[in-house]
Every structure is written in structure tokens, then in C-alpha cells.
Structure 1
Amino acid sequence: MLYLYSPDQQELYFRLLQEALPDREIACWPQEVDPEAVTHAAVWMPPAGFFRRFPNLQAVFVMGAGVDQMLGRDDIPEQVAIVRLTDAGMAKQMIEYCLYGVLHYQRYMDVYRQQQGAGQWLAQPTRLAGEVRVSVLGLGQLGAQVAQHLAGMGYRVTGWSRQPRAVGQVNCVHGDAALRALLPETDVLFSVLPATPETRHLLDAERLALLPKDSAIINAGRGSLIDEEALLAHLNRGHLRFVMLDVFAQEPLAADHPFWLHPRVMITPHVAADTVPEEAVSQIAANLRGLAAGEPVTGVVERCRGY
């Protein structure tokens, strides 16, 4: 049996899963079931202890790309596979989100907004795509597609990851030393890195200072990547032209957080790339069948790496 927990869109996901898996019994929370019959679960943000009642659980399908909320739980045994979504319609949205931020930088939209407030009519110099250096942090399914798309549009794209990666059309580098060398050569820094112990405050005061003056940051990965106090200090000094933030250390962002009213900060409420239910269910169904057949599947989380 597959057990579904998705409070926000439960009826939709239940119907889609029934259509995609007509040969499998499917139940959804808070429906009472025989706990021993549940072998798989498809979930989003289940409460603490949710899985403890299912002794025969084999795999948990996370209905999103981020799995930080699933790691470190004490109710998922080590032998239970955790499988995340690897795209599910999110890549196109992430490309759009990043491109919006890059164009905001390239076409001086933040500058023009400030000039509008001051009643200034002043054209900024033309800057072509080939003159804008974009660094993409994180070259998984989403980051790789963002990097390739921007490179195809003529931007000077470099992709960074902790381990070696190869992405067509994109100059790829890896490791701490490469990151320190890359930051001073960056106009727009885009991150889609996951939340792991290694990425926590990867952009601290020291690394933020390596970015050129008047560069920009777009963070659509996880809020723990950036030391927010250090970022605020750099913004207040005018070192960064602007930041576009979709994720934060604490969400929702506190009503009194200084980011809300900061003139150099653009805020979106964790909407850079939403899961598309139809594509998510298609992927979950394919992975469930693959696991049952003993075949390799996409998105299996390596707990030691955090993704």
C-alpha cells in the first residue's frame, strides 16, 4: 500500500496517484489503515513520528526537490529509501526565476527604480549578455539546466559544485579553492544548492567580500547557504547592487526582519519553482515501479551527503 500525506493538495494528489497506479492500493491521511500493509509513502512535511507506525515501510517519496526536512528524523530507519523529485516541472520555473534576476541586473532595473523615486531621467550604458558573468552554485538537475539555458542565451556562465560535474556548454569548476577563485569573477551569483552541513553559511562574510562591488546574488536553493547578518552588512555598505532572495534561514520571514524594507533586497516567498502535481506523480509512479523491479531509480537520497 502507498500512503499519501499532502495536506495542501491531498485530493488532487490522491486522484492522480490512483490514475497513475491503478494496480496499487492507495490510502491518504487521515484515513485509518492497517499499518503493516503500508510499504511506501508519498509525503510533504509530515509531522514528527509520522512513519513510526509503519513497520514494513520500504521507501518514502518526498514530493519536492528539497529533503532537508526529512533528514535527521528518528522515525525513518536507515534501510528505508528516501527518494526526492529531480525535476517534476521545476526546472523551467527555476530558469525563469534566475533569468528574471539576471535581466534585472543586466538591464539596470534596480537602478532605474531608484532613479524613478528620485525623479531622474538617466540612461545607463548598454550591457550585452556576453558581458555578464553568471556563476551557478549547484549543478544538480535544476542548476545544470539553469546554467545550460543561460549559456545558450550568450551569458558567460560558470557552474560550481562540491564534486566534479560536467554540463554541456558550461565551464564547470569544483571545490573550495575554485569557489574562492570564482567569486571575484562573478557579476550575478545564482544558487540552487541544497541544505547540508557543508553548505551552511558557505557564503559567509569572508566569501561575500570576494564578490566584486555592484554584483548581485540570487538565492533559490536554501536560506542556510548565506550568513544573513553578514549579507545585511554588505548590503548596508553598498557593496552589492541587490539581492533577490526566495529562501531564508527561518520561513516565513519574520515581519520585523530588516530585509523586508531594505532598498537593495527583493523578496519572494519560496516560490522560485513549485512542484507540478502531474509531473510529480508521474515520477513517483515510475520510481515506485523501478524499485519494485529492482531497477535503478532517480532521486535516491544519499543521507551522508544530505541530498
Structure 2
Amino acid sequence: MSIVIVRQDGKTKLWKKALKQADPQITVYGYDEEHSKDKVTMALVWKHPKGSLSEYPNLKLIASAGAGVDFIFEDQTAPVHLPISRVIDPMLASDMSEHVLALIFAYLKNLNQYKLDQERTTWEPRPYNRIVDFTIGILGLGTLGAVLAEDLVRFGFRVQGWSRTEKNIDGVQSYAGDEALDAFLSTTDILVCLLPLTENTAGILDASLFAKLPKGAYLINVARGGHLVDGDLLAMLDNNHLSGAALDVFHTEPLVKTHPFWQHHKVHMSPHCASVSDTESVVPQILDNYNRLCEDRPLLNLVSKDKGY
């Protein structure tokens, strides 16, 4: 039995080293090195080459190296009848929350605009906003969304969240189901998307949704690029219905140089870096699941095939 690491971001050796340091007895390969594919029982993957997982006849578990699994379901050749696990990591959640908090405060205190002013050598003090002036709405109150909501409450923000089912988080107003979405949007000043990407949520950030937000609302998307209809966002920024957007994720990454987001003064971008799986934090749970697989014990952090997350 062995593990194969399948990814395309140049981090295969890093993950292999971390796994071997944690347990020198395991057999682990990188996808791009010679190995016996019929002996591989677990694939540790992150945005793998489509078609690569079908090459392992005795595969028993597909393990995402991050919190997301949408890229697995997007590969129509992947053996999705097998168990699929994902990472549930407190450090991943806290990293995400800190990134979003930074974006919110930059917006409240005009730091994005002052950066643009600096580039134009413009000295123009502006009225600033306060925490009490805004209601933060979080689309998706899963592991990441719940941690962010709790942190925002501690700062004193009015916080509300929307999810498929009702959540119970102290200080957070919970909206649940399609019938509650419009009410949630109508009172959201800063919208943070932390939804999983599924068939039901793809393209959810579109003109219809934006129109239901108050005029001047601000968008933060740190979930997946597939949630956003790019052209609809640009139109809503240009007609001033939305005051701006902070984007960490995109349909194609890296974002092509010709994309209008690069030059739009109301769009503030980061290169999908809000929250990155840390090997030291994540490897123990991956090895725990591998040992459970070897010993035929129940696996942890399994994905619901029906929900897609």
C-alpha cells in the first residue's frame, strides 16, 4: 500500500518530505516519478491533471490536500464513487478569517483608495467609517465561515450569515434556504463569499444577486472563481451599484494579463493566497486517514457526494 501525491504547483517534493518526516515507514511517491500504480491506495491531490486518477486500479481513497474538493468533481474521469476526504484545519480557518478581516478594515478606512491616491500623488483626506456602520453578510457558514463570523462578532460588527441549513452561532443572525436569501442580501453592506463550489452555487454571484444588495455594497470573494460572473460584477461596479470588490480567486489562475480586473480601480486582487494548507498542520490528519484506510477503520472528514462538499 502506498500514497501518491498528484498536483501541478511545484509543491510535490515539499509534501512528500513532510509526509516522510512524520512517518518514515510509509511509502509515498510523486505523480511525476516512477512508481507502481497498482500498489497505490491513496491519492493526495490538489488540482490534479484531469484523467490522472483513473490510472490507479486499486485506489481506495482520494484525499484533497485542502478544504476544497470541487476540482475533483470537475474531473469527469475521476473515480468519484470512492471515498473523498478533505482537510478540516483550524489554522486554515484562522488564516482565512485574518485575510478577510484585513480586507474589511482596508475598505472601512479607505486604505484601498489612499493607495490609488498615492500612485497619482493626490492628497485627499476622506471621511472614514466605523465598525458600527456596517452589517457583514457571510455566504456560507461552514467551517471557514463560522470562524470568520465569530471573529467579526468579537470586533463588534453586526454579522449575519446565509447557508443551506440554519446555523447557531452566538451573535450571528442565521438565514437558511433559498426563501431567506433575498432578506439576507437586502441588509448586507459587505458580502463575503465562503460557499463551497457546487452545481448549485456556481455563478451565484451574478447581476440578479448584486441587485438585491443595498446600493454601495462591497463584495469579497475568497471562495472560488467559479462563484462569480465576472462581467456582471464589472457592470455593477461601473454603474456604481457596488462600491468595490476584493477578489482572491478567479476562473483561470493565474489571471490572464488582458483581464479587465487588472486595471479596474474598484477591484482589489490577491493571488489566491487568503488561506493555504500548511503541511505541518495538515499532514497529521492525512496520515491518520491513511492509517485508518490501511486498518479498515472509519475515515475522517469525508465529503458528501450529494452536497459536493
Task: Judge same fold: TM > 0.5, yes or no.
Answer: yes
* Pairing partner for 1:54 from 56, 59, 63: 56
Question: Aligned with 2:288: secondary structure?
Answer: helix
Change (3 A) 1:122 1:235: same
Kept in 2, the 8 Å contact 1:65–1:86? The answer is yes
Q: Does 1:175 align with 2:177?
A: yes
Question: Which residue number in structure 1 is paired with residue 217 of structure 2?
Answer: 215
Kept in 2, the 8 Å contact 1:58–1:79? The answer is no
Q: Which amino acid aligns with 1:17?
A: L
Q: Distance in 1 between matches of 2:285 and 2:199?
A: 28
In structure 2, list runs of 5 or more residues that go unmatched: none
Paired residues for 1:53-132 under 5 Å: 53-87=55-89, 89-113=91-115, 117=120, 119-125=122-128, 127-132=129-134
Cα distance per residue 1:215-260 (max 9 Å; x no partner): 2110000112122111111100112211001112232222111111
TM norm structure 1: 0.91
Question: Aligned with 2:57: secondary structure?
Answer: coil
Kept in 1, the 8 Å contact 2:132–2:158? The answer is yes
Question: Which residue number in structure 2 is paired with residue 284 of structure 1?
Answer: 286
Question: Aligned with 1:160: secondary structure?
Answer: strand
Kept in 2, the 8 Å contact 1:203–1:225? The answer is yes
Question: Aligned with 1:55: secondary structure?
Answer: coil
Change (3 A) 1:119 1:29: closer
- CA apart distance, 1:34: 2.7
TM norm structure 2: 0.90
Question: Which residue number in structure 2 is paired with residue 4 of structure 1?
Answer: 5
Change (3 A) 1:91 1:273: same
Question: Aligned with 2:167: secondary structure?
Answer: coil
Paired residues for 1:1-307 under 5 Å: 1-7=2-8, 8-87=10-89, 89-113=91-115, 117=120, 119-125=122-128, 127-291=129-293, 292-298=295-301, 300-307=302-309
Kept in 2, the 8 Å contact 1:88–1:283? The answer is no
Question: Aligned with 1:208: secondary structure?
Answer: helix
In structure 1, list runs of 5 or more residues that go unmatched: none
RMSD: 2.1
Q: Distance in 2 between matches of 1:31 and 1:223?
A: 31
Change (3 A) 1:37 1:121: closer
Question: Aligned with 1:69: secondary structure?
Answer: helix
* Number of equivalent positions: 305
Q: Distance in 2 between matches of 1:50 and 1:234?
A: 40
Q: Distance in 2 between matches of 1:242 and 1:171?
A: 24
Cα distance per residue 1:262-287 (max 9 Å; x no partner): 11110111111111111121221122
Q: Distance in 2 between matches of 1:138 and 1:146?
A: 10
